[in-house]
A and B are shown apart, each in its own frame.
Chain A
């Protein structure tokens, strides 16, 4: 771009135009960047970490020279937790902004809405935080059509297994608990989760006394806790993500004497402590990684760098989004191209040690095609507890830092 012209534009249109000119001239000289569209719930506690973590990973990769000289460019879109906004963002990302691949959302409903668009627009797409089994089941059911979708987080079925594995060691073996009530929000991701809970809890020795599903719009949890208390369980097994602050605060304010244990997505973000005025104290939640937990050598440095840059430790979806940018870069390198089909092939062969463990995807013949593999040596998840205003790992024992401790209003029955 001609300097005189650039100067004229600058004086005519001001700084905004100058930015465009500089960007355009920059793009013309450098090798084409690898463009990753990041569609996320920037205003939600669990989703806010997604674009931040993706940017952090891109900055690190770029600082180290990029992928074969190509820089990674993150283009962010706030979807306001809406499926419709996400679909528009996806179309825009592909058609206008020409992204090569999309990372999107922690909400299953959103991801299920985007899945057909990934197929139609033939654009690879990875979710860092949705859990519904249906995401990868559809890939299995119609592989040729849906192969563009990758499930970069555990399925609800795997999440249930992870919670049950933790509950067996912590609650049944150590604390001799015998009964549980399942409390979950009514959403796409909890349907398979509840099926998993119903199946695995009795197997580990926790009898399910009741099962309460409630609307994610619920604001007053008093009747729910009241009903749970009436059943006299030893523990409440949770499946909450859209809600989190309100049930946790009301659990504390009403001094419900039963511990909560399970999936509580909002509790994975460090900001949860402030949002609940520290009512989170004693909450036990499943995570794929956490502050100070060396799941792999990469986990702690990432969490600390993230905190340095953004002021708080990331939510679970921050860890997965960070890993995703890295294994996408790795796949581009191996494929030697950003061509969609080649990228899909390369992603299928992913074997990447990230912050949450070793990432591999289930193949075409597995029922959960393109979902990350669950199991020892891969990803097992962990249980963490909020203690003294901090999140600390309590399970498995290889990474556990502390023992479980409950606030004084919790009355353990054994």
Chain B
């Protein structure tokens, strides 16, 4: 009974982590950008979905769409207002650009966080679930919303896989992550590929944010922890490796769930962080890292 409970809850939370981390790792893989405003973009999506549904009263579906739209916009804004100017700048030496991007996105994330707190308070918001009610699975009373979350996460990740492996645009993205110079030599505009990647990222982060808002709820305080969790999953899986991130998301998700159920909810995140430290010692490139 308890084993099933852990299996089911762990799956939903892991799938959500996976979705959140996939976009994060994709951007790093393709453009070498570590986007520290990741958590802020997810929270912006969830809060926008909440505000649209609860304050403007547009309904659950429209609210969710608006949430994803806001994340897409914020992602583009992050790229065009923060990341691209740093990358294009002639005054910043190339070897320092990564640090500038890290700092820039971190500050950008804090700005988004403070704006959300200013306009919508720092209290947790929960997005009204698209499906309500509960069902019994193997004797475990499971909210339908939890199943919905898991299904949507798996579907979106599946679609992403199809996009990357089966379409021309996707193949260009994949190629850019392997050898950017080679891609430009083939006559593809690297900036266009970046825009595609940021669009994919925005949609993924938006869906993850809205689902998180429905499943657990978010507040402006969640910005830091969400960025940190995506960061540690991605580092654990191997920076830039999408499949590594997926595996790492499930490892972290289940490790946290096991700890919460079998030890104490208060120590939930500790074993996963210890694992991260341990992996850094014996395999610094992460589980499936190439670098």
Report A31-44 CB contacts with B as 1/0, cut-off 8 Å: 00000000000011
- Chain A minimum-CB-distance residue to B263: A223
Report A222-253 CB contacts with B as 1/0, cut-off 8 Å: 11101100000000000000011110011001
The minimal Cβ–Cβ distance linking B113 to chain A, given in whole angstroms, is 11
- Chain B minimum-CB-distance residue to A45: B123
A277 to B52, CA, bound (A): 12
Q: Are B54 and A277 interface neighbours, CB within 8 A?
A: yes
The minimal Cβ–Cβ distance linking A294 to chain B, given in whole angstroms, is 29
Residues of A within 8 A of B261 (CB): 223, 226-227
Q: Are B265 and A214 interface neighbours, CB within 8 A?
A: yes
Q: Which of B216, B220, B268 contacts A250 (CB 8 A)?
A: B216
Q: Tell me whether B118 is interfacial, beta carbon within 8 Å.
A: yes
Residues of A within 8 A of B118 (CB): 43
The minimal Cβ–Cβ distance linking B91 to chain A, given in whole angstroms, is 34
Interface locus among B125-133, B151-159, B168-176, B238-246: B125-133
Decide if the interface of chain A is mainly helix, strand, loop or mixed: loop
State which residues 251-283 of B face A: CB under 8 Å.
257, 260-261, 265-266, 268
Q: Are A245 and B125 interface neighbours, CB within 8 A?
A: yes
Q: Tell me whether A198 is interfacial, beta carbon within 8 Å.
A: no
The minimal Cβ–Cβ distance linking A110 to chain B, given in whole angstroms, is 14
Q: Tell me whether B222 is interfacial, beta carbon within 8 Å.
A: yes
Q: Are B117 and A43 interface neighbours, CB within 8 A?
A: yes
- Chain B minimum-CB-distance residue to A266: B123
Q: Tell me whether A305 is interfacial, beta carbon within 8 Å.
A: no
Q: Tell me whether A142 is interfacial, beta carbon within 8 Å.
A: no
Q: Tell me whether A219 is interfacial, beta carbon within 8 Å.
A: yes
- Chain A minimum-CB-distance residue to B134: A255
- Chain A minimum-CB-distance residue to B143: A253
Q: Are A254 and B126 interface neighbours, CB within 8 A?
A: no
A212 to B260, CA, bound (A): 12
Residues of A within 8 A of B2 (CB): 226
A227 to B260, CA, bound (A): 10
Q: Tell me whether B13 is interfacial, beta carbon within 8 Å.
A: yes
Residues of B within 8 A of A224 (CB): 265
Q: Tell me whether B192 is interfacial, beta carbon within 8 Å.
A: no
Q: Are B126 and A246 interface neighbours, CB within 8 A?
A: yes
Residues of A within 8 A of B145 (CB): 253
Q: Are A222 and B9 interface neighbours, CB within 8 A?
A: yes
Q: Tell me whether A91 is interfacial, beta carbon within 8 Å.
A: no
Q: Tell me whether B87 is interfacial, beta carbon within 8 Å.
A: no
Give the most central of B128, B219, B261: most A CB within 10 Å: B219
Q: Tell me whether B93 is interfacial, beta carbon within 8 Å.
A: no
Residues of A within 8 A of B141 (CB): 254-255
Q: Are B222 and A219 interface neighbours, CB within 8 A?
A: yes
Q: Are B143 and A254 interface neighbours, CB within 8 A?
A: yes
Residues of A within 8 A of B217 (CB): 219, 245-246, 249-250
- Chain B minimum-CB-distance residue to A245: B124
The minimal Cβ–Cβ distance linking A10 to chain B, given in whole angstroms, is 30
Q: Are A218 and B265 interface neighbours, CB within 8 A?
A: yes
Q: Tell me whether B187 is interfacial, beta carbon within 8 Å.
A: no
Q: Tell me whether B177 is interfacial, beta carbon within 8 Å.
A: no
Q: Tell me whether A169 is interfacial, beta carbon within 8 Å.
A: no
State which residues 42-100 of B face A: CB under 8 Å.
53-55
Q: Are B126 and A279 interface neighbours, CB within 8 A?
A: yes
Given contacts A220-B13, A254-B143, A277-B128, contact A44 B265 (CB under 8 A): no
State which residues 266-290 of A face B: CB under 8 Å.
266, 274-277, 279
The minimal Cβ–Cβ distance linking B59 to chain A, given in whole angstroms, is 12
Residues of A within 8 A of B222 (CB): 219
- Chain A minimum-CB-distance residue to B127: A277
Given contacts A219-B222, A253-B132, A255-B141, contact A44 B121 (CB under 8 A): yes
Q: Tell me whether B225 is interfacial, beta carbon within 8 Å.
A: yes
A10 to B118, CA, bound (A): 31
The minimal Cβ–Cβ distance linking B98 to chain A, given in whole angstroms, is 30
The 5 closest A-B pairs by CB, nearest first: A245-B124, A223-B260, A249-B126, A45-B123, A246-B217
Sample of 12 further A-B pairs with CB below 8 A, known A215-B266, A220-B260, A254-B141: A44-B123, A48-B121, A219-B222, A220-B265, A223-B265, A224-B265, A245-B123, A246-B124, A250-B217, A253-B132, A253-B143, A276-B126
What are 13 A-B interface contacts by the 8 Å CB criterion?
A43-B118, A43-B121, A43-B122, A45-B121, A212-B265, A219-B217, A222-B260, A226-B261, A245-B126, A253-B145, A255-B133, A275-B125, A277-B128
Residues of A within 8 A of B (CB): 43-45, 48, 80-81, 186, 212-215, 217-224, 226-227, 243-246, 249-250, 253-255, 266, 274-277, 279
